[in-house]
Amino acid sequence: MKKASPYKIQVLDRALAVMDILAKDGPDQTLVELSEKLKLHKSTTHRLLMVLEQQKIVEKNTASGRYRLGLKLFELGKKAITHFDPRNRARRYLEQLVYETGETVHLCVLDDTEVVYLDKVEPERTVRMACTVGKRNPAYCTSVGKAILAYLTEIEVDSILRRHVMKPLTANTITTVFEMKAELEKIRQLGYSMDNEEIEEGVRCVGCVVRGPEGEPIAAISISGLSFRVTLEKTPMLAKHVMAAAASISEQFGFKIEKINQNLNQETTDSIYAVKV
């Protein structure tokens, strides 16, 4: 049982109770309904609501006289989200992803035209991935980079691609804007991205975007492994795990995903991510 705090300020507790009721039983509540649920006299409840309304914590519908939560809470929530450390929020999901797939997992963010690796969790293998925390790689040829690019605006994507020459690092590297935009559309359709030996031969990665409260791309996660382990045949299964982990991390940042696309199949994956010849 949760121990009650010895530190209580009655008016603050009552104000928080108002917000809790509006959040759970809302969106609209009358003064009488709130008074009954708070077990307070109407005049006391009214004074509380007036103060909260002045601070934009609640707002009153002048036509119906009903109360609902105000935009101030939304503004505060968005600011609070920005102070979360992505590594702390994501770590347990990264560890779970390693357990489920047996491959190395990365958490990355976009910085200008590059991705920066914030965290890395490795399985207990003798052969491990060379990428380290703090390292940078071009966004255009990494699964994490492409996962983020897919959910930026077209203007943002154009700016990034214009400022970064897409050099062919392997035979599979995408090197034209036309191909890249087609790739980003496929990522949006599938819900996940791939680095099909595009930055390093013999290494394949499967990634997915992590979203903020408004659906904006704030990071990406990926699993990485040697191509003989991360095969095209295994991609649909691995993608499901990555997407589920990314959805859970996104929820930590206030984004709600109604449904994760689980209808991936080998035919679709092979047609989209076939090795270039």
Domain count, the chain: 2
Last residue in a domain, options 78, 103, 126: 78
- Whether 147 maps to a domain, the answer reads yes
Same-domain check for residues 113 and 15: no
Last residue in a domain, options 44, 78, 112: 78
Q: What average pLDDT is seen over the chain?
A: 83
Same-domain check for residues 151 and 68: no
Same-domain check for residues 49 and 122: no
**pLDDT value of position 111:** 85
Q: Please provide the distance, in angstroms rounded to a whole number, between the alpha carbons at the two ends of the chain.
A: 63
Tokens read off for 48: 């509380």
CATH number at residue 233: 3.30.450.40
Contacts of 47 (CB under 8 A, 6+ apart): none
Which amino acid makes up residue 65? G
Same-domain check for residues 131 and 172: yes
State the CB neighbour count (10 A cutoff) for residue 137: 19
The tens place of each residue's pLDDT in the chain, 277 residues long, gives: 445 555 567 888 898 898 888 888 877 889 999 999 999 999 999 999 999 999 889 999 888 889 998 888 777 765 665 555 677 788 899 999 999 998 999 999 888 888 988 888 888 765 555 667 778 899 999 999 999 999 999 999 998 888 888 999 999 999 999 999 999 999 999 999 999 999 999 999 999 999 988 889 999 999 999 988 999 999 999 999 999 999 999 988 888 765 444 333 443 344 344 333 2
- Whether 1 maps to a domain, the answer reads no
Tokens read off for 178: 């036309």
Last residue in a domain, options 78, 99, 126: 78
**pLDDT value of position 63:** 86
Round to whole Å and give the CA distance between 138 and 43.
62
Same-domain check for residues 110 and 202: yes
- Whether 3 maps to a domain, the answer reads no
Domain enclosing residue 53, as ranges:
10-78
Same-domain check for residues 61 and 115: no
